[in-house]
Amino acid sequence: MLADGDIQVVHCINRCVRRAYLCGQDPHTFGQDWDLDQLGNWPNFTQDNDGNGTNDLNQNRTHNDANEVTQIDASATHIAHDAAGNMTTVPKPTNWSGHNDVTWDAWNRLVKVADGANTVAEYQYDGDNRRIVKKLYSGGSLSQTRHIYLSVQNQVLEERIDSSTSTDRQFTWGSRYIDDLVLRSRDTDTNGSLDETVYAMQDANWNITALADTSGAVVERFVCFSYGRSTVLDANFTLDLDGLSDYEWEYRFTSREYDTETGLHYFRARYYHDGFGRFIGRDPIGFEGSEWNLFEFTNSNPSSRRDPYGLWGWDDDWIEYGFGGLLGFQGNAVQVAAGNAIINTANCIWSCTSSVNNQILAGASGAAAGGIYLGSQTPISTLSQFGVTSISQNPTLATIMANRWGGLGNSTPNALGRLIHSHQTSIHEAVRHLPRAQRAGMRRIVIGRNAIRVGCQAVVIVESVIVISCALSCQ
């Protein structure tokens, strides 16, 4: 059941039109529509925001062969790209008749935003391309320098202002997701003491929907449209008078940073423009992110996918079943499965019954599958698509998955070949996605790679034992 303030999204097959409107309002008098071509570009965008049934914005866009926006309503006044595909003239997200001039460094990192002759903001990065300094300007003059301290996972832990050694803001993160923001503490009167704490509440796609104080009372709310445009509401769901957060809250769409100075969203590797529904620079990992468009956001599925690193869209299956196991967040599942494979083989080495074959093949192929799929946290109900209906011996997902592959055949001479064929796709997928994660700067890739290596070695060992043992005892 959707409540007032929620977003209803309707879309059709083949990306033809998508529509979003605020629940509690007549969808025929308030809404946004996007015409998407097959490459994820928006040839047309309309919006009705005053409730009179007439579009207040009806915008046509032209794209070149590189999927860069070249014209807005047949004009190139407020849009331009450099040779590397970075937007150098960027329309203001809240004012299509104006634009900011953007400067990029040699590593395609946004370093300066200017409004005419006045500098709006400057940014600095460390050697891992993480943003560590924000310089904010007012009327062209420097007003504040924010120093950002990050975790290994590239989460903001603390911010300090100018040369002060006192903390201005601190952030606490949960373990469910990279952007699982729990709370923020802030010094509201610059006396060096963190006197304000608010808790973040998210929806299913990690959009920040509300803030609560330490008593549990909601103090502010947010509404995010499908492609990230957000609206600030008071606690009683009425529109905030000035449209600005009373708590200077900086995380909005999919719990990513919203830069109020520019209206852009910071997605770590890239900056996102919610008016365009795309990134303003090309994907650093090339077509590994989107196979057809280097600027596309979450493969044009913003309501069900998210992109915390600004590289490629994640859906729930990829995050929960693929990514975690691949990077080694639960990579020990591979080694557990490998150990089980050897134990099963030792226990059953002198028998070649159907049940024994299934157990041996379960452990062997489980060692390979474990590098792709997560461990014990996945319920059996989610595995029905693989034909898995029961747990055999070890409740880890690697073994559960392998029980499916273990039933490939009871003829031992053919089982080896079938086993190799069954798990080679999993290994291929694991290796194929390793460069993605590595380029994203996620160092835990080493754990995942080692886990896959151990699993593959165990498969070879077990397969050899299967062939030898069955040749001795069953032929």
Q: Note whether 374 and 325 are within 8 A (CB).
A: yes
Continuous H helices in 177-329:
316-317, 324-327
Q: What percent of the chain has pLDDT over 70?
A: 60
Averaged pLDDT for residues 433-446: 42
Higher pLDDT, 124 or 19: 124
Counting beta carbons within 10 angstroms of the beta carbon of residue 28, is it exposed (0 to 12), middle (13 to 18) or buried (19 or more)?
A: exposed
Torsion of CA 334, 335, 336, 337, to 10 degrees: 50
Q: Which pLDDT score, from 0 to 100, does residue 463 have?
A: 52
Residues present in the chain in total: 475
Indicate if the pLDDT at residue 349 is higher than 80: no
More confident site: 404 or 218:
218
What is the distance of C-alpha 63 from the center of its chain?
26
pLDDT of residue 457: 55
Least confident interval from 154-168, 203-217, 397-411, 445-459? 397-411
Number of CB atoms found within 10 A of residue 188's CB: 12
Which pLDDT score, from 0 to 100, does residue 114 have? Answer: 98
Which fold, 7-314?
Answer: RHS repeat-associated core (2.180.10)
**Per-residue pLDDT band at 460 (split at 50, 70, 90):** low
**Greater model confidence, 179 or 456:** 179
174 confidence band (pLDDT: 50, 70, 90) = very high
Element (H, E) at 19: strand 17-22
Query: What is the tens place of the pLDDT at every residue in 30-55?
Result: 678 889 999 999 999 998 877 677 88
Q: Which of 375, 420, 369, 381 is nearest to 396 (CA)?
A: 375
> Among residues of the chain, what percentage have pLDDT more than 90?
51
pTM greater than the 0.85 cutoff: no
pLDDT of residue 313: 85
Enter the tokens of residue 406. 């273990």
Largest CA distance in the chain: 87
The beta strands (E) that lie in 153-195 are given as 156-161, 169-173, 181-186
Structure tokens at 290: 């989107």
Q: How far apart are CA 459 and CA 465, in angstroms?
A: 10
Residue 357 clears pLDDT 50, i.e. is over it = no
Cβ-contact 261, 268 below 8 angstroms: no
Mean pLDDT of 226-239: 93
C-beta separation of 60 from 44 below 8 A:
yes
Among 302-306, 314-318, 326-330, which stretch is predicted with the lowest mean pLDDT?
326-330
Give residue 210's region: left, alpha or beta (phi > 0; psi -120 to 50).
beta
First to last CA, the chain: 63
DSSP of 65-104 = TT--EEEETTB-TT-EE-TTS-EEEEEETTEEEEEEEEEE
Q: Which helix (H) or strand (E) holds 425?
A: helix 412-439
pLDDT at 465: 58
Is 170 a residue whose pLDDT tops 70?
yes
Q: What gap in Å lies between CA 155 and CA 124, rounded to an integer?
A: 16
Q: Where do the structural domains in the chain lie, given as residue ranges?
A: 7-314, 317-474
> What's the rounded mean pLDDT across residues 194-200?
98
Residues 6+ away with beta carbon under 8 Å from 106: none
- Whole-number Å distance between alpha carbons of 321 and 121: 40
Nearest to 268, CA basis, from 434, 100, 441, 114:
441
